[in-house]
Structure 1
Amino acid sequence: METYVLGDIHGAARALEQVLARSPFRPGTDRLIHLGDVADGWPDTPACVERLLGIPNSIWLQGNHDWWAAEWLATELPLEDVNPNWYQQGGRATFAAYQQVPPEQRRWHLRDFFGQQRPYFEDDGRLYVHAGYEPSQPIAAQDPYNLIWTRELWRGHQTATAYAECFIGHTPTWPASPVPCQRHNVWNLDQGAGYGGRLTLLNVRTKAFVQSDPVPGLYPGVKGR
């Protein structure tokens, strides 16, 4: 079994299909770890959730945009009452997309996908977390809010102490770097798929990776985040 780690999708189902097709990833045999932010930006968040739900042996981490999307799905507030920060930062597309699916499907996604996302995952000396963490404190003692929002681990060029490697998303490396980036023992897999960049899928052991085409080209005439 190989382990593959997937960066921030942001509603780009066409990019997700590309990386799965281009990678040697074997559904049902290999393990897939998604670093969070399946939601918000491009118009296909429900399709992304459906695709990930259909992949056996998957682990889903919670991103800040997933937290926002789940908060809305739990209430289904009308447009005039939704969180304006969420709506303006990509939630508009998620809101619109979920208007097109039956209520039972929205409830299923909330329960079986967003409700199953983890704040972090540890395995074989490696840490997987959406945004980062404070290396001076045990991961289990940290505020889950910081795990989906902090940028200090990456921007501060910190080392993920107590781990052989750490894999994160959240802070795009695009456009400065269009490919996965490593600082010390921290790997960043957010290559800007929510904006003008690409989606990345990486083999944890070998560090071989595949990427989608630049996402705007997959959605001509559609504005992302």
Structure 2
Amino acid sequence: METYVLGDIHGAYRALQQVLERSPFRPGLDRLIHLGDVADGWPETPECVQLLLSIPNSIWLQGNHDWWVAEWMVTEAPHASANMSWLRQGGQSTYAAYQGGPQEQIRQHFHAFFSQQLPYFEDEAGNLYVHGGYDPAIAITRQDPYDLIWNRELWQYGQEAYHYTECFIGHTPTAPASLVPCQRANVWNLDQGAGYSGRLSLMNVRTKEFVQSDAVPKLYPGVKGR
């Protein structure tokens, strides 16, 4: 079994299809770890969720955008009452996508996917997977899950992920400075700006071989992302 790690999707279903087709990833044999932010930006969040649900042996981490979506799904608040920060930062496309589909899909995806996302994951090789980052000076079990989805200091300051072999994160786009997965100390960043004008990345954790989608705006001509 190989482990593959997937960056921030942000509703780009066509990009998700591309990386799965281009990668040697074997559904049902290999493990897939999604680093969070399946939602918000491009218009196909429900399709992304449905595809991830169909892949056996998958682990889904919660991103800050997923947190917002889960909050909305709990209440199914009308547009006027929804979190405006969420709507302005890509949530409008997610809201529209779910409102345009079957209403039962909102509850189905909340219970089957969004409520099942993890704050972090540690594998048998001593690697850590977390959406935003964490404070290396404090045991991760003692840290607020909300901080784990928003932390940027681990990446921005080039901190080492102490006590771990390697750490894999998303959340802070490397694009436009870099359109490929980047490493600082023992931390790898898999967010190459798919929510904006960048690409979606899927990497083999052991070999570091990766595939990417096309630039996402080319996959959605005439559609505005985040």
Pairwise same-fold verdict (TM > 0.5):
yes
Q: How far is the alpha carbon of 1:105 from its aligned partner?
A: 1.3
Question: Which residue is equivalent to 1:64?
Answer: 64
Amino acid at match of 2:225: G
- 1:13-46 deviation line (CA, Å, top 9, x unaligned): 0000000000000000000000000000000000
Q: How far is the alpha carbon of 1:205 from its aligned partner?
A: 0.2
Q: How far is the alpha carbon of 1:200 from its aligned partner?
A: 0.1
Question: Which residue is equivalent to 1:162?
Answer: 163
> Among the aligned pairs, what percent are the same residue?
73
Mapping 1:1-225, distance limit 5 Å: 1-123=1-123, 124-225=125-226
Distance in 1 (alpha carbons) for counterparts of 2:87 and 2:156: 26
Unaligned runs of 5+ in 2: none
Q: How far is the alpha carbon of 1:111 from its aligned partner?
A: 0.3
Q: How far is the alpha carbon of 1:103 from its aligned partner?
A: 1.8
Query: Helix, strand or coil: the match of 2:110?
Result: helix
- 1:164-223 deviation line (CA, Å, top 9, x unaligned): 100000000000000000001000000000000000000000000000000000000000
Amino acid at match of 2:223: V
Distance in 1 (alpha carbons) for counterparts of 2:121 and 2:82: 30
Distance in 1 (alpha carbons) for counterparts of 2:33 and 2:115: 16
Q: How far is the alpha carbon of 1:152 from its aligned partner?
A: 0.3
Amino acid at match of 2:88: Q
Distance in 2 (alpha carbons) for counterparts of 1:196 and 1:118: 27
Query: Helix, strand or coil: the match of 1:128?
Result: strand
Q: How far is the alpha carbon of 1:58 from its aligned partner?
A: 0.1
Distance in 2 (alpha carbons) for counterparts of 1:161 and 1:145: 20
Q: How far is the alpha carbon of 1:100 from its aligned partner?
A: 1.5
- 1:122-173 deviation line (CA, Å, top 9, x unaligned): 0121000000000000010001111000100000110000001000000000
TM-score where L is the length of structure 1? 0.99
Q: How far is the alpha carbon of 1:55 from its aligned partner?
A: 0.2
Distance in 2 (alpha carbons) for counterparts of 1:36 and 1:85: 18
Distance in 1 (alpha carbons) for counterparts of 2:145 and 2:70: 15
Amino acid at match of 1:143: D
Query: Helix, strand or coil: the match of 2:72?
Result: helix
Q: How far is the alpha carbon of 1:97 from its aligned partner?
A: 0.2
Divergent runs of 4+, >6 A: none
**When the two structures are aligned, how many residues end up with a matched partner?**
225
Distance in 1 (alpha carbons) for counterparts of 2:78 and 2:146: 25
Amino acid at match of 1:103: Q
Query: Helix, strand or coil: the match of 1:15?
Result: helix
